[in-house]
Amino acid sequence: MTDHEIRAEYELIDKAKKDPAAFGPLYEKYFNRIFNFIFTQTDNEELTADLCSQTFLIALGNVHKYEFRGVPISAWFYKIASNEVNRHFNKSKSQRVYSLDEIHLKLLFEREDEEFSDEVIAKLMEFMGELTSDLLQVLQLRFFEEKDFKEIAFILDITESGAKMRTYRALDQLRKKFNVTVKYDGKK
């Protein structure tokens, strides 16, 4: 985000703290991203809609408490969404589902235009299903949501070094299992 975008976003937050109707532009800006983030973890549109609505209701109800912590407001929305998804799965005792498509999987690899066979994609999907949810979450946030380690740490309530460690651990498991080169952009 540019400095101008950050300032504009914080002006919206300040307005929303005084007038809940001013929360609308933030909702409009982030709704689709948060919906997709939740959907990849539930693979259920109705449940996703409920959890997404709950996320924004919580955010609206707590916007007056929001304080800048060195990450964009989007990280706050992702954190609330992640907590709501975790709460749902803990309460329902049902199995979390990660719904990743071929495009998302290809984002993990440094291969440019190489075709992935159906067999390779199936094996990758199976392997991703074997990863623990904490490793899947960091991969999702890092590569599919394009969050930096500071944001990931904030969203998941872990240290920045913990976010890096989980990411590298997941990538290392992919590298070993498939003998492939996985992306690491070296960004913060």
How long is the chain? 188
User: So what's the pLDDT on residue 112?
Assistant: 47
Domain 3-92 is of which CATH architecture? Orthogonal Bundle (1.10)
Does residue 146 surpass a pLDDT of 80? yes
Mean pLDDT of the chain: 83
How far apart are alpha carbons 149 and 80 in whole angstroms? 17
Longest Cα–Cα distance in the chain = 54
Which of the four pLDDT bands, split at 50, 70 and 90, describes residue 9? confident
Q: Per-domain residue ranges for the chain?
A: 3-92, 102-178
Per-residue pLDDT reduced to its tens digit, 94-141: 766 666 665 566 666 654 445 566 777 777 777 777 778 888 888 889
> Which tokens in the block code for residue 75?
């990280």
Which pLDDT does position 5 carry in this prediction?
76
Please report the pLDDT score of residue 67 as a whole number: 86
Which helix H or strand E contains 129, and what residues bound it? helix 118-130
Residue 23: the pLDDT is: 93
Q: pLDDT value at position 126? A: 76
The three-class DSSP label of residue 109 is strand
Domain 102-178: which CATH class? mainly alpha
Q: Please identify which residue in the block is written with the tokens 């719904």.
A: 99
Percentage of residues in the chain having pLDDT higher than 70 = 81
**Where do the H-state alpha helices sit in the chain?**
3-18, 24-42, 45-62, 73-92, 102-106, 118-130, 133-139, 149-156, 160-178
Say what the pLDDT of residue 187 is. Answer: 52
